[in-house]
Amino acid sequence: MSGHSKWATIKRQKGKADAARGKLFNRLIRELTIAARIGGSDPESNPRLRTAISAARAANMPNKNIESAVLKGSGQMEGVSYEEITFEGYGPGGVAIMIECMTDNRNRTVAEVRHVLTKYGGNLGQTNSVSWMFKSKGIIRVTKDSMAEDELMEVVLEAGADDMSLDGEEFEIITSPETFDSVREALEKFNIKPASAELTKIPENSVKVEGDNSSRILKLMEAIDDLDDTQHVYANFDISDEDMEKLNS
In the chain, % of residues over pLDDT 90: 67
- The Cα 188–Cα 146 span in angstroms is 11
- Its pTM stands at 0.84
Residues 95 and 223: their CA atoms lie apart, in Å, by: 15
- pLDDT top residue among 246 and 117: 117
Question: What is the predicted pLDDT for the residue at 46?
Answer: 93
Mean pLDDT taken over the chain: 88
Ramachandran region, residue 49 (left: φ > 0; alpha: ψ -120 to 50; beta: rest): alpha
- Is the pLDDT confidence value at 1 over 60? no
Cα distance between residue 121 and residue 13, in whole Å: 24
User: 91-141: per-residue pLDDT in tens?
Assistant: 999 999 999 999 999 999 999 999 999 999 999 999 999 999 999 999 999
Rg, Å, the chain Cα set? 18
Q: Which residue has the higher pLDDT, 240 or 131?
A: 131
Contacts of 21 (CB under 8 A, 6+ apart): none
More confident residue, 15 or 145: 145
**Band (14; pLDDT cuts 50, 70, 90):** low
Question: What domains appear along the chain, each with residue ranges and CATH number?
Answer: 8-73 (1.10.10.200), 83-132+204-248 (3.30.70.980), 134-203 (3.30.70.980)
- Nearest-angstrom CA–CA distance, 239 and 2: 8
Q: How many CA atoms lie within 13 A of 227 on its CB side?
A: 25
